Structure 1
Amino acid sequence: MNKNFLTLLFIAATLQFAVGQKIGKNKQAVITSIEKHKSELIRISDSIWALAETAFEESKSAEVLAEYAEKNGLKVTRGVADIPTAFTATYGSGKPVISILGEFDALPGLSQKTEPTKNPRIDGAPGHGCGHNMFGAASLGSAIAIKELIADGKIKGTVKFLGTPAEEKYFAKVWMVEAGLWDDVDVNISWHPGANIEADVQSGLSLIDFIVEFYGQAAHASADPWNGRSASDALELYTTGINYYREHIKPTSRIHYHIQDGGQVVNVVPDYSKIWVRVRDPKRKVMLPTYEQVKKMAEGAAIMANVEYKISLVSGIYETLVNRSGGEIMQENLELLGPITYTAEETAFGKAIQKATGKPEVGMDSSIEPLKETEEFPGGGSTDVGDVSWNVPNINLSVTVAPKDTPWHSWAVVACGGMSIGHKGMVYASKAMAMTMVDLFENQKLVDKVKEEFKNRKGDEKYEAMIDGPPPIGSN
């Protein structure tokens, strides 16, 4: 063994000791706890990955998480907010109350084997193209680690895990907020699977979903079409109006639609049509006027086609209210943990995914991103975490579970989420969130700082849930 090699070993050991000293006993304890539960957390994630249940149908996935929470001493309440697959799992008493989100719903049509080329497990079946199988498992691991610290008398307060279904379609958290499930919470913690590691201090897009139905008069499409009033004509006129309107909305806004029923057969003037419409913008105050105009256009289409129409609100969600004070706490813990390391086989898998999806074959990116400036008008998607963030301070995290530039909501994410690349990201996220919760439980001043920023950013804005009626259970 040469002298240089011994010197490198000494330096590595010294650095490892220094990081260990800096992490602190309670943070070391949650890391140890998550390592202890690691095989079970992977089992839970893989079980939910294989179940791949969609919005409001996640009964088995929810139960996998709830059972493990109960097994580890958390008090579970099922069916909260009148949603069969929503639940809470709590431990402790008094303040602070720190909550953590756990999602577990899949996306339709994305079934995939753990292979780096497109190959469905079950043709046409759902798959976890947004990594929610890892989301819930990682968050539960964090909650259990904190529970063990409270049980050992190392910290005081309450940890609250919330099993939150239907994020991909109906946005169940909106109904959960209305049910008061965050009323007693001081700070909320969340994460999302991604292709990089960062304390997420960017907002998302507000949106509103609604259904438009047109009702006409059926007739023979050839023998007496003059006796018909076509609901399909109204639908086509409506989509034409939407597409012309796109030029006149803000560049930050988006309008999407999905035709759900345009008629059944070619030789009948259809008396019914149905379309799902979504309007988005980074600012709710910009999104709402666009929504009102798109609703008016449905009436215009109905007049032109001489049919009746009906508009039904599905749900709407807020943009995320960013909390940079919380992001700074998360950032420190990411830097303590350092990057994820990958085997040669995992790197090769990532590059094969990139090749299959037409991306540069650069492999995995697990470097710790610096804390970025918060953009005024971010792009990207939407999440009902936004509604939580307007009711309680929210600290958010992104962790690598797929190779760089992977198309999201695709088979490629499903493939990674069921194998070791996803497992590593899940365990890493669990540790980072638990360490951040330790900071909050140990230091009331940090909690106060996060809450003060929340108060200032929210200002005079009064939260108003964008729902009309009970959650649409069984609407899939």
Structure 2
Amino acid sequence: MGKKQLVEWLDENKKTYEDQALQIWEHPEVAYTEAFASKLQISVLQEAGFSVVSGVGSVPTAFVAEYGSGKPIIGILGEFDALPGLSQKVSPVRDAVTPNGPGHGCGHNLLGTAGVEAVIALKQRIDEERLPGTIRYYGCPAEEVLSGKTFMARAGVFDDLDAALTWHPGNSNTPWNMPSSALTSVEFFFKGRAAHAGAAPHLGRSALDAVELTNIGANYLREHVVDGSRIHYTITNGGVAPNVVPDKASVWYYLRGANRAHVDELLERLIKIAQGGALMTETEVTWEIKAGAYDLNVNNTLNELLFSQKDEAGPLVFTEEDHKLAASLAASLDPSLQQYAEKRRHELGLAESDLLPTSFVNYQPTTKITGGGSTDVGDVSWITPIGQITTTCAPFGVQVHTWQATAAFGSPIGLKGMHHAAKLLALSTYDLLTDGGNLLSQARAEFLRSTQGKPYIPAIPNDVQAPVLV
């Protein structure tokens, strides 16, 4: 009976949360600047009766909202940061709201709002049924730079959780069964000596030469890394003019691997290469760790729990207008992306014409293939068992981090997928609160097997603070 009332409450109040998601979509804020989204969510949760601790991990936009008391303690993770350069109207053609401005091309306007919606719905059940236990919503900034949850984890706010749940906007309905890559983000800064490049080049010591030699060494390193590793970089400072020997230069690297140990080894080797570049050019080098995300530790018990709610959540229904927008957005994709989408649609057993899948893809336990992307959700997954699911919020074939995704995530398509996700999160949390601990025991046993007793140690050094930008 309680789950039926939970769904009814969510359906009755969905307009409120659709409006909140659109407000955040209309005010996109990149990592560590999410003042509008954070304040909006905090005010809504406080008004609903949640106690809120803000500024978690010395990050002004990070917060934890809590309701209830005692065990179990269940967390729902939310995000709200946008991406640079992806401003876009709800339109099937490229049309920025603000030229070169930020936009929600990863759907975090939906991601966080669904979590808020779910915990407030659960509060009603806790009050009416006098359920024991504590629910928390985590307002997590800066996922797009893969460090917000790491700073929060370093502050210990996830340590007492019995389990956590989250979701991500996608273009199909399925639990997240693929481990993500661990990652380290590191920037190297070289300091040399300026000189006139034509009149007195021998007096200069080029910091840019050191950067380029480091990149050459890193490219040779690619031949000698564990399969699945990734090394990519961008030069963040290459000097000021060709006729001035650069006395300062910098390069920013992302290192990815199947697990934290692989990435830590890559970092050690890359540091040696950078030191070699400095030695060869008679320059100096320092470096800064910007992010250090863990690989995602998939928990099948919690994923299956999220999947099992699909019938009680009710159908995901799209209108004719939704399908028209979906077809127009899909038609705007590069032909290579359209071909890739057709291949993936076949692999998942979806119909060719199904641009907005409403059924669930049958759940498969964790794959052995590590995905190329990374997320700081991985950090939380090494602290407590975590379940994660995706729902259809964009047409099949549309990739996140694109203008097409921004358009979809600000449209009724994205809002319907968000509301569906809120139901799955709320229903699953209700089961965790009411089943006597059986599911939590299973999830914890699986977690202990997968982590093999390895402790979570934040990969961002203690002396590195978040780049506070608000």
TM-score grouping bracket, smaller chain normalisation = over 0.9
1:474 aligns with 2:468: yes
Native 8 Å contact 1:55 1:170 kept in 2: no
3-state DSSP of counterpart to 1:403:
coil
**Equivalence for 1:149:** 125
Native 8 Å contact 1:78 1:84 kept in 2: yes
**Equivalence for 1:353:** 329
3-state DSSP of counterpart to 1:263:
coil
1:369 aligns with 2:361: yes
Q: Tell me the distance in 1 between the aligned counterparts of 2:315 and 2:224.
A: 45
Q: Deviations over 1:76-107 (max 9, x none)?
A: 22212211001111111111111100100011
Q: How does 1:225-264 map to 2 (within 5 A)?
A: 225-264=201-240
Q: How does 1:211-222 map to 2 (within 5 A)?
A: 211-222=187-198
| Structure-2 change in CA distance of 1:475 and 1:466 (3 Å) | farther
Native 8 Å contact 2:168 2:390 kept in 1: yes
1:66 aligns with 2:42: yes
Root-mean-square deviation over aligned CA pairs: 1.5
Aligned pair partner of 1:461 in 454, 462, 467: 454
**Equivalence for 2:346:** none
**Equivalence for 1:51:** 27
- Larger displacement relative to structure 2 (236-245 or 49-58): 236-245
Q: Tell me the distance in 2 between the aligned counterparts of 1:248 and 1:383.
A: 25
Q: Tell me the distance in 1 between the aligned counterparts of 2:243 and 2:469.
A: 29
Q: Deviations over 1:135-187 (max 9, x none)?
A: 01001100001111111125221110110001111511111112111222111
Counterpart of 1:374, as a letter, is T
3-state DSSP of counterpart to 1:237:
helix
Normalising by structure 1, we get a TM-score of: 0.92
Q: Deviations over 1:173-208 (max 9, x none)?
A: 111112111222111011111111112222111011
- Larger displacement relative to structure 2 (262-271 or 464-473): 464-473
3-state DSSP of counterpart to 1:463:
coil
* Superposed displacement of residue 274, structure 1: 1.0
**Equivalence for 2:116:** 140
Q: Tell me the distance in 2 between the aligned counterparts of 1:153 and 1:434.
A: 15
**Equivalence for 2:420:** 428
Native 8 Å contact 1:53 1:105 kept in 2: yes
**Equivalence for 1:308:** 284
3-state DSSP of counterpart to 1:467:
coil
1:388 aligns with 2:364: no
**Equivalence for 1:446:** 439
- Larger displacement relative to structure 2 (355-364 or 345-354): 355-364
Counterpart of 1:206, as a letter, is A
* Superposed displacement of residue 335, structure 1: 4.1
Native 8 Å contact 2:60 2:468 kept in 1: no
| Structure-2 change in CA distance of 1:330 and 1:170 (3 Å) | closer
Q: Tell me the distance in 1 between the aligned counterparts of 2:100 and 2:326.
A: 24
Q: Tell me the distance in 1 between the aligned counterparts of 2:425 and 2:372.
A: 23
* Superposed displacement of residue 349, structure 1: 1.0
Q: Deviations over 1:289-335 (max 9, x none)?
A: 12211111101111222211112222201111111111111111124
Native 8 Å contact 2:86 2:96 kept in 1: yes
Aligned length: 452
| Structure-2 change in CA distance of 1:329 and 1:29 (3 Å) | same
Native 8 Å contact 1:357 1:407 kept in 2: no
Counterpart of 2:204, as a letter, is G
Q: Tell me the distance in 1 between the aligned counterparts of 2:83 and 2:122.
A: 31
3-state DSSP of counterpart to 1:268:
coil
* Superposed displacement of residue 470, structure 1: 4.3
Aligned pair partner of 1:379 in 371, 390, 398: 371
Q: Deviations over 1:366-403 (max 9, x none)?
A: 32011113122322311111111111110111111111
Q: How does 1:188-199 map to 2 (within 5 A)?
A: 188-199=164-175
**Equivalence for 1:275:** 251
Q: Tell me the distance in 1 between the aligned counterparts of 2:313 and 2:122.
A: 18
Counterpart of 1:377, as a letter, is I
Q: How does 1:195-210 map to 2 (within 5 A)?
A: 195-210=171-186
Native 8 Å contact 2:146 2:374 kept in 1: no
Counterpart of 1:404, as a letter, is F
Q: Deviations over 1:12-52 (max 9, x none)?
A: xxxxxxxxxxxxx1111221222232111111111111111
**Equivalence for 2:348:** none
Aligned pair partner of 1:179 in 155, 159, 166: 155
Native 8 Å contact 1:338 1:368 kept in 2: no
Identity of aligned residues (%): 36
Native 8 Å contact 1:214 1:310 kept in 2: yes
| Structure-2 change in CA distance of 1:290 and 1:475 (3 Å) | farther
